[in-house]
Chain A
């Protein structure tokens, strides 16, 4: 039974009326189903996270991690449970951290999206991604993991929106649960290698989404949408890409590559769309056009 978190924690307003996130410790209950927190948890920032999770910290840093609370829960004669609570800069970053891994496990129905697999519960809600794990999970441990998850999810004040850019990618044929979110070119290259150089002028202010689409034959088609700070940046990146990658593109910005697949790029204001490994020219062109009709102004 949860005894510590009895109510959802609201965001705190500072003197200027700005919302600041609640202290991470408030989100973690003191005990759950007989497992008690093992003293104060350990706190990490982007600069110190590597001391806790070594190289994996780079992924969270690339997705703008702010703070991390690592809290251990103990119960006599039972495996301990570890809560890792990551506060990211934005809900989109939390979404990105969640979708960094392949999500093939069952949904736990906690937070905005969740997965339970192999004694680990992971979910994201708002700007938080939460991992709750144990070495083994017989029924009582599993029940405690879920209870802990529900407690933390309830304590997180607000849900958040997934990256708006997702709406710029085709929906039809998208492989379920296979989307990625990134800022810099290291993370993009991890998901889909484009170039060893930062050809697309990605930096911490850009954001991009990537998704895969099943094709009847051959590799899946990859679609990428990148949002730049301004139109000039998008234009520069688009030109650099066309020059280095698609110098043979036709007037519509597509070309058939050496492996037979079609590739294309198109700029739309401060947005750049890229398509790789399309089976036909037509498929490539369809994926390059604006996906969402503009919303009507509210009256």
Chain B
């Protein structure tokens, strides 16, 4: 192997820090007004009633929260007109869910999404909810629109599993995306069955997983009742915001700054390499609704 003369090392980061060349500094150098064209909006909606006794998901509260979220996101006065911004009756809509057994997209959430799509005029036979079976599902194969909905969780190899990663089943060779801690997950969004179709990203933050341990990543003790959703049309901005909440929870739990063992740099790559959205928190407007206690951001 030939060592490239400009290998980036830990030492280089130390040198840069010492010289005051931080990313924040670089962002501040943007010309005034330039950022307006490159901003994204994410809605965080929380409700203490979203989870009942034993963590049971309250479908009614979920409906209220998602309606509130899409209204805020679209600026429409009511939920019906807000949902109608995302789909039209002639659309064929795939709801890309997540069935990871330890922390799946709750059926109550899927049910609300489907009901709102129907209310927007999409016929039932033009809607499908799938995870791993999505590529073989005729609705997904013929889809004109996708709704991307999954829970937020830490992940052993990608740092986090969130909206960007949720399209993994569409790839014929998932392993090919594993190198360098999944840096190229953004590539998923260029696949023919996906490209340009995503109308809405919903990152389920009801009981996020903030720390991974063991081969299956999951331990109940590393989840908490956050009772929220993040909504946005920009998957990178949604994931960036979700990550900020996870990092804040980790700092709270471990009583010190405790970055994820694997930096989820696929989010940054999705922005810089694949142009999928904005990963700079300074250019993301987070609109916060509902329950404030323990919001963390």
Contact = CB atoms under 8 A, between A and B. Distances in A.
Physical interaction between A and B: yes
Interface of A: 50, 53-56, 58-60, 84, 86, 101-102, 117-120, 122, 131, 133, 135-136, 186, 190, 193-199, 201, 240, 244-246, 257-259, 263, 276
Contacts of A186: 180-181
A201 B9 contact: no
Nearest to A243: B3
A50 B173 CA distance: 11
A84 B215 contact: yes
A254 B216 CA distance: 41
A154 B147 CA distance: 50
A56 B157 contact: yes
A58 B3 contact: no
B56 interface: no
A116 to B, nearest CB: 12
B3 to A, nearest CB: 5
B210 to A, nearest CB: 13
A53 B11 contact: no
Interface residues of B, number: 34
Contacts of B18: 258-259
A101 B213 contact: yes
Contacts of B181: 186, 190
Contact of B9 (A84, A102, A120, A195): A195
A178 to B, nearest CB: 12
Contact of A259 (B14, B213, B220): B14
B9 A244 contact: yes
B17 A59 contact: no
A265 B205 CA distance: 45
A32 B10 CA distance: 50
B215 A56 contact: yes
Nearest to B158: A55
A55 B222 CA distance: 19
A55 B156 CA distance: 7
Contacts of A259: 14, 17-18
B155 interface: yes
A258 B39 CA distance: 35
A196 B7 contact: yes
A135 B104 CA distance: 14
Nearest to B16: A258
A55 B9 contact: no
B279 to A, nearest CB: 18
Given A186-B180, A190-B262, A53 B216 contact: yes
Interface in B16-68: 17-18
A197 B213 contact: no
